[in-house]
Amino acid sequence: MADEYEFNSGDSGASITYPMQCSSLRKNGHVLLKGRPCKIVEMTTSKTGKHGHAKVHITGLDIFNNRKYEDICPSTHNMDVPNISRMEYQLVGIEDGYLSLLKESGEQREDLKVPTNDMGKEIQSKFDADMELQVTVLAAMKEESVLSYKVM
């Protein structure tokens, strides 16, 4: 019997979600509803039932596509909360529907699409008018999108 072990390496070790007790969640916080990262817009708690658990009714809006999701969970159970990060980038170009972004460290990325909503049209028109723009990118659950922009 050989002492050979094979380990499958993961990513940087940062999990895409972490557990949190349902009763600890708050309005304007974030939670995973139906597998999507959502911002909590409404929470109501029912009284304790005959089986001893108060139920929490959570309504949330998907942070990427604004769809509404709802879920009910016993207040003592855990729910997954997505790890969310915001990054600021300077917009240096737009080519073939993709944004060319520059980090403060000088690193460049060109893998983020121009938003398809009105904000995307505003970014395109302001960039075409030679305005310097700073773009805020929201990342969660291995998904990214432009959250907002401002003229520098």
Spatial CB neighbours of 3, under 8 Å, sequence gap ≥ 6: none
Spatial CB neighbours of 24, under 8 Å, sequence gap ≥ 6: none
User: What digits encode the pLDDT tens for the residues 22-55?
Assistant: 989 999 999 999 999 999 999 999 888 777 788 9
Instruction: Give CA–CA dist 40/69, Å, rounded.
Output: 9
Residue 9 has pLDDT above 50, yes or no: no
Phi-psi group of 124: left, alpha or beta (phi > 0 → left; psi -120 to 50 → alpha; rest → beta): alpha
Q: Please, what CATH class does the domain formed by 85-151 belong to?
A: mainly beta
Taking CA atoms, 26 is separated from 20, 52, 57, 84, 116, in Å, by 11, 22, 12, 16, 31
Residue with tokens 């909360």: 81
Which among 151, 150, 136, 152 is positioned nearest to 63, based on CA atoms? 136
User: What digits encode the pLDDT tens for the residues 81-139?
Assistant: 999 999 999 999 998 989 999 988 889 999 999 988 888 899 999 999 999 999 999 99
The structural domains of the chain, with segments of one domain joined by +, span: 17-82, 85-151
Give the per-residue pLDDT at 47: 85
**Contact predicate 87/139, CB 8 Å:** yes
Give the per-residue pLDDT at 14: 61
Give the right CATH number for 17-82 from 2.40.50.140, 2.30.30.30, 3.30.420.40, 3.90.550.10: 2.30.30.30
